[in-house]
Copies of this chain bind each other. A is one copy, B any other.
């Protein structure tokens, strides 16, 4: 089989040329003075995208590592943790919270809806002992966005720590770590940054560090340890890593940050939103159904499309990949065979690329015998992209 012509997935998504060039550059030693500088510089660039003056930890391993590290660092056995569930990833995160010994409280909504802020307030009233609240900002598996800013406001008022999975929202949705008072955020470079899928980008507030340091159960001397990075690298003057970082991934992440910074953070967010609007308009005009019940909380990173009755999602995607060289995503987890996901992150959100994803899905379904008004979908999407 040939390489895909277009990777328009839920991530890893196709990268920017500058990212690919950076990762093809000569390998260097992690203690090369140039790499030490690059590592520290990349932390600050990631911090700029997070909008934080606080610490950023660049862990080696895709965002799942950062999320597990966060859970293990913050959960003390017996503490009460409120987990807000509007999708697959949040559900899985709750398993970690419980496994780490938290007394788990959950607010759960159907996976095609966002968490209502009032429900958070209510849960905190019901469980005033809650000291940690976890939420997924943008649920990549289903393309649903939660009102993080409003939720964080409630949580801060209550005094609990706010932990947010922003894996697929960084650089694609509004996010203001310091302004919103988020204590621990985990992002991934392989989503809206269109970088490599090998790192966890973690923002940690001073309050969060205090909590972690006070937690005897927080990992130390472990690949899962945030504290090792704090003690050895950050507070040690940035001369010693707790373990060998991936020099290649760091180069890729820096290049990805540079693309966003050169574009402008707000322009990057606008581009992702416009691509998402165009895709949603296209999907509906093609006669297909959006998964998110309300466009107001549809995510900027991917658009989830409900599979029409009788369509075998995986077979349809395999056909599209083989016949047209376009790689799209199915759903994820329990939603795997219920959804098509059209990714619009990084290059896939730029130019007219959203049209390619629509044409691929539409034509693929038409090949299988469905009636799809592809042209109308493309027209609608182009109007959005044109701002017409």
B interface footprint on A17-33 (CB within 8 Å = 1, 0 otherwise): 10111011111111111
- Chain B CB within 10 Å, residue with most, of A17, A24, A30: A24
Give chain B residues whose Cβ lies under 8 Å from the Cβ of A223: 61, 64-65, 68-69, 223-224
Interface size class of chain A, counting residues whose CB lies under 8 Å from the partner chain: 35 or more
A99 within 8 A of B: yes
> Which chain B positions have C-beta within 8 A of A107?
none
Closest-CB distance, A322 to chain B (whole angstroms): 8
In the complex, what residue of chain B is closest to A95 when comparing beta carbons? B221
Is the CB of A215 closer than 8 A to any CB of chain B?
A: no
Task: Using known A-B contacts A65-B61, A198-B248, A388-B366, determine if residue A12 contacts B26 with beta carbons closer than 8 Å.
Answer: no
Report the minimum CB–CB distance from A212 to chain B (whole Å).
17
Stretch at the interface among A127-135, A151-159, A299-307, A356-364: A356-364
Q: Is A60 an interface residue (CB 8 A)?
A: yes
Question: Quick one: which of B96, B347, B352 contacts A360, CB cutoff 8 A?
Answer: B352
Q: Which chain B residues lie closer than 8 Å to A224 at the CB level?
A: 222-224
Q: CB of A197 within 8 A of chain B?
A: yes
The reply to whether A32 and B247 form a contact with Cβ atoms under 8 Å apart is no
Contacting pair B32 A4 (CB below 8 A): yes
Cα A322 to Cα B355 with chains together (Å): 18
In chain A, positions 52-82 with a C-beta closer than 8 Å to chain B are: 60-65, 68-69
Instruction: Please list the residues of chain A having a beta carbon within 8 angstroms of any beta carbon in chain B.
Output: 1-7, 9, 11-15, 17, 19-21, 23-34, 37, 60-65, 68-69, 95-96, 99, 190, 194, 196-198, 221-224, 243-249, 252, 318, 321, 323-327, 329, 347, 350-353, 355-356, 359-360, 362-363, 366-367, 374-379, 382, 385-386, 388
